[in-house]
Amino acid sequence: MAIFRGTGGAGDATNDITINRVTELTQDAETAAQEAASSAAEALASKNATLDFGDELTVSATDLAEGASATVTYVSGDPSFTFGIPAGATGTTGATGATGATGATGPQGIQGIQGDKGDTGDTGPQGIQGETGPQGPQGIQGIQGETGATGPQGEQGIQGIQGIQGETGPAGADGVDGVDGTDGVGVPAGGTTGQVLKKIDGTDYNTEWGEASTVASLNDLTDVNTAGVTDGQVIAYDNATSTWLPADQASAAGTFTTFKYTATSGQTTFTGADDATNSLLINNTTSVIVTLNGITLENGTDYTATTSAVTLTTGATLSDELNIYAFNTFDVATYTQMPFFKSSGAAGNIDLTGFNSIRFFKSDGTASNIALG
């Protein structure tokens, strides 16, 4: 007859056990129980026995399989006991004990792997404005932006100063010949060698041939008196006598003295002895011409003058050449013409009647006046 082992048994319904097998297993269990009881009795007897092992006794135990008989081995020479203790049958599982107290927190585990990115949360409220941080370092130069639109036309600037005169350009190509004009009156017929054409009166083209006036020397002029003229003298016109008379060149009407200075770096004041050891003297501070490297300066703007010094508004450069032309004092009532001396020593005159100053034009197009008197 088959016996069903039931749920949780060592087998299932497909492996049923027979009554004979149950009987065999029962007998085996009874035998094992009897052997265990005998071993226990023997152990109890040994326990109650009195043995003298002295001060040295070794006791040890070994595990035996479940169902095996317990053993004990005595070695008198050591002395020692070795107990063989069979494993007992596994008992039923006891009830779950009460939960123990929470243990101390263990050490921090290693960093787990990065999880998947979660959904973006809602935007939090605006935080309060933080303090301004320190100025960061200068960034690198950005790329050039596109050119912006042209701004509005600015206001007209003030007129700049006149530039210096440029060099004369090359001559242009010849123009086309113009249409021939109407024939003029022409030169009257007649005349002889050496004659010149003279006006008879103010009527247009009313001329005649006549002898040319010739002047071989100053003495040929009726208003010139050269008597007593010495080397180095000039002649000046005397309005009182209406004649030209000898005069000392240093004090003649319209003459001037030149003072030349070589500037040091940044020099503004020029006074005392010049390069030729001549001491600066300006008779009239309005009757003076000052040039710097050949360029005429403006009195009152580029420099100021006293009777013994010229002071530049802007300091000169090292080795600049400053020339001061100081005109000598003369009486307009006495001298009405101004002699200009040529390299040959000859003189030409400019009529100054009715004038109280002479106007000199500079290279930049501006002008200055030189007072007469």
Query: Is there a domain that residue 269 lies in?
Result: yes
The answer to the question of residue 204 being in a domain is no
DSSP state letter for 224: B
How many other C-beta atoms lie within 10 A of the C-beta of residue 30? 10
pLDDT at 16: 59
Residue 214 has a pLDDT of 62
In a domain? residue 343: yes
* CA–CA distance, 39 with 61 (Å, rounded to integer): 15
**Furthest-apart CA atoms within the chain: distance in Å:** 198
Which residues is 303 bridged to in the sheet? 299, 312
pLDDT attached to residue 370: 56
Query: What's the number of domains the chain is made of?
Result: 2
Residue 8 lies in a domain: yes
Q: Is residue 272 part of a domain?
A: yes
DSSP 181: -
This prediction's pTM: 0.28
Helix (H/G/I), strand (E/B), else coil: 21:
helix
Could you list the residue range(s) of the whole structural domain that residue 364 is in?
A: 219-371
Q: Is residue 262 part of a domain?
A: yes
Q: Is residue 162 part of a domain?
A: no
| Segments of the chain with pLDDT less than 50 | 1, 11, 13, 248-254, 330-337, 339-347, 363, 373
Query: Under a CB-based contact definition with an 8 Å cutoff, are residues 245 and 225 in contact?
Result: yes
Do 83 and 68 touch, CB atoms closer than 8 A?
no
Q: What is the pLDDT, as a whole number, of residue 301?
A: 93
What is residue 349's predicted lDDT score, i.e. its pLDDT?
54
Q: Give domain status of residue 322, yes or no.
A: yes
pLDDT of residue 324: 95
Please provide the DSSP assignment of 41-107 as one string. Answer: HHHHHHHHS----TT--EEEEEEE-TTPPPEEEEETTTTEEEEEEEPPPPPPPPPPPPPPPPPPPPP
- Phi first, then psi: what are they for 23, rounded to 5°? -60, -45
pLDDT at 313: 96
> What span, in angstroms and rounded, lies between the C-alpha atoms of 268 and 320?
11
**Is the peptide bond preceding residue 188 cis, with omega within 30 degrees of 0?**
no
Q: Which neighbouring-strand residues pair with 262?
A: 321
